[in-house]
A and B are shown apart, each in its own frame.
Chain A
Amino acid sequence: MMKWVLFIPELYYVLFGLVFFILSLSKNASSKRLHGIAMTLAGVGVLVTVFCARQTGMVFFDAYRVDLFSQTFKLLLSLGTFWVISSCNELKGIDERQHPEFYFLISICTLGMMMLVSAVELLTIYVAIELSSYTLFLLVPMRRNADVYAETGIKYFMVGVTASAFMIFGISLIFGMAHTTYVTDILRVLPGVIHEPAAIAGLVLALCGFFFKQALFPFHSWAPDVYQGAANQVTTFIATASKMAAAAMVIRFVGFSGGESEVLVNVLMTLSILSMTFGNLVAIIQKDIKRLLAYSSIAHAGYMLVGILSMSERGFASAIYYALAYLVMNYAVFMVIMKIADDGHNLQIKELAGLHKRSPLLAMTLMMGLFGLAGIPPTVGFTGKFLVFAAALEKGYLALVVIGMVNATISLYYYLIVIKAAYLLEPVRPYPAIRIDAWTRSMSLALVGLSVYLGIFPDKFVALTEAAARSLPY
């Protein structure tokens, strides 16, 4: 009976989903009220995950593991969801009749991702990832003028199910090698047979499913179209919360190899380099800011992989830290985008012209977010990159780190273009000043503060991520 306590965060999000399922039947709640309810529920959700952060234990016949690693990610997920919902007060990109469904799907998707980070049994993992994927398949085409963006939804779905197919094939190979679907048992068997091609193929194919979610090269092709095609809030959700869960799962699966396989390291290193380089080079020529961020997210998936492929405790810890950093800085940028494009249209870079006059605070938040993404100290993004590269160099991957840093310099170019638009360019026709509510103002300050605080005083959080990495079952 006591064991159900371990499942409280997930149960809470089931409840969250049910509330909006019921509300979606009534059809007469105003969108403002719906937002209020959703925000309250999501806020309480953060508190729930905070209270459950120290839990440990196993449930559901050992298929479900609650430890510091999973709880940290659940906290990040609930935080990401809360932030996304908090900026939905002007959900203009989505038809008003669909608002209850929007919140319903967001909460269920969060539930799926929370189950994902705790699942330690291959089929449970598969079910969880599909739960989160299918809700996203529905969220992406949910936008006003859906006919224009229908292509996006179909594209996302097609690439998504293909990645799932790869993944289930990989899982079946792992099962074939290890004769079990339990992660703890796999960890006992797989490192011993990791040098056999089938084991490597199984792992890499299984990873494909998560690489798809992370938008790692060569599974990135959906990202620019989906970022552009989905409503701004949905894009934000995909770019923040959904990336967390994928990162967690890549860490877990790479850990299967026991850090013994050179082939796997080489595969991951190649993917990481390709992803960084491709993402950064293509981002340079983008005009639409969401497309630009999509390509930058491809690059960031590469940086994160640098930490993971180090396959050391410090490497995994650095990747967790990077995930946290990415959540903070990416959300900061997206929040500004959502506020500027409050009618829900796709924001072009040139529309940012004169932003520092229209709203100095948003301009500063945008700049700090972008500097974070570019890895400039003293922001959390720098500390994240520093930790990731430090872990890689401990394993002696000097060339990889140099390539990573050169990529960071390339990325600075296009981030500077955006910053230049916000601070230097004069608008062709004067845009009105942006009125921001108290919540946005405090969120802006909080994000900037958090970004600098975590950049300068990383000690406690590094210790936390290292403890989380230690709690992984190997």
Chain B
Amino acid sequence: MDHVAQLLLELGLLFAGLSLVGSLARRLGLSSVPFVLVAALALGEGGVVPLATSEPFIEAAAEIGVVLLLLALGLEFSADELFVSLRHHGPSGLVDLLLNALPGFAAGLLLDLPWQGALALAGVTWISSSGIVARLLGDLGRLANRETPAVLSVLVLEDLAMALFLPLLVVALSGGGPAAAVAGAGLAVGAVTLALLAAQRQGHRLGRLLASADDEQLLLRLVGLTLLVAGLAQSLGASAAVGAFLVGLALPASFAERARAVLGPLRDLFAATFFVAFGLSTDPGAVLPVLPAVLLLALVTTGTKVATGWFAAGRDGVARPGRLRAGTALVARGEFSIVIAGLAVTAGVPELGPLATGYVLVLAVAGPVLTRLAEPSGARSTAGLPEAGNGGRRPPPGRPRTGAETSPGG
């Protein structure tokens, strides 16, 4: 078979398979990330369908996937939201860092990873999946709950912290000493501050420069600018991902809304390719031996995340049930844990691949299940599968909502 035909067939099968896996995940009310990872583990070397021809394409697309993921992350929150979160929940962010990054770092050292690998593992255990959590809150009808601002603030602060953590990690992984790492972090702090200030003062100019009534023009300008900045950042020894994140951050909120809508499908496609590439680069046989360590780490960092949410919601004066809901909602780890692990694997710490894969597989599934259990028993039975199955949009008309509504005294 000729090369092009082979490539197209492989990619066609891949995306069709991803669609099946994704719809299965939605039906179960879970994120598709762990399912895509499992599917990718089954492919590749020694897998059911060897992806020989399309591998170079998948690898290139995966790089773009990371860039688009981070761009979308930067677009997700406005500078105002960052400042407000920092003011109200700065201490929660600090608790989050200490409680969740330290176990990862310690585990990395205990597992004989180099300290750079341990640093990456700290990032893996630290960052909750804002994608999974935000969708979960919507699906469970918790957006109006009193603990929700605390949960979202923790997510925002983590995402902001990523902009500082990633350059630090990249410098560390590239073999720089502590001095280089500090310099890298300093540079990152400067760049993030500059991007935020630029967004506040001059953001509307950048927005006007990129804005176009035509979706195609908008997409080309946005992706063009982002890839340019990302490439530049990469060539300067920072991470391309950070450059993309800064672009997203610097764009004004008025523009971000449309950018999100236009960028969404493209991001989903390339991000899925990134998860596939990560799964492909991981040897499924290497996941099993580290499973006990992964489970133990998942157990510990589930506890620490619950404590984080408990603390953050407590600062808003939320009572015990709400604090438990906040804590369990934050447990899910997902896409950004994989982004961090991906950086480490590419930089020559391959041992992190199976660890992070197993860890995300466990917590991307266990987190949503756990927080459903934190709903009061009357609501639990209906808050689960059917509602999540329709994508968190409007529930079918006439479907009874929660049992608690009709129960006496409820």
Q: Do A and B come from one complex?
A: no
